[in-house]
Amino acid sequence: MRAFREAVEAQDMDAVEALLAEDVVFTSPVVFKPYPGKAITAAILHAVARVFEDFRYEREIGDPDGPDHALVFSARVGDRRLTGCDFIHVNEEGLIDDLMVMVRPLSGAQALQEAMAAQFETIAKEAEARIG
């Protein structure tokens, strides 16, 4: 999805958030249970932007006009390099209603999990502020 990719690459997290449907479901690469809702998904994505270094999308997979997209990326968390993919589904309004992220290798996923765990309190506060 071009708009999502451009917003992420520009580090414009407000634009990323604007692309999320209210009922979006975020599936983390390091947590079993999905996160439903725009507020928590936006807070998580803001945290990811703080955690990832040297982030860049490598390629897009899928029909640009279709509802399903895959964006392959590379990044670094601390001294660990990782690759991953954002799997995106958009609804009839063109908003993201499903976002699943996968990463590899295991050492990169572990570094990501540790870095995101350190962000947990901030994520919770940001999500609560977005709800109202």
Q: What are the E-state strand segments in 9-113? A: 20-27, 35-36, 53-61, 68-77, 80-90, 96-104
Looking at residue 64, what is its pLDDT?
87
pTM of the model: 0.93
Residue 131 has pLDDT above 90, yes or no: no
**Predicted confidence (pLDDT) per residue in 72-107, tens digit:** 999 999 999 999 999 999 999 999 999 999 999 999
Residue 132 has pLDDT above 90, yes or no: no
**Predicted confidence (pLDDT) per residue in 29-88, tens digit:** 999 899 999 999 999 999 999 999 999 999 999 998 899 999 999 999 999 999 999 999
- Range 72-91 burial, b when 16+ CB lie within 10 A, else e: ebebebeebebebbbbbbbe
Mean pLDDT for 105-124 is 94
Looking at residue 129, what is its pLDDT?
93
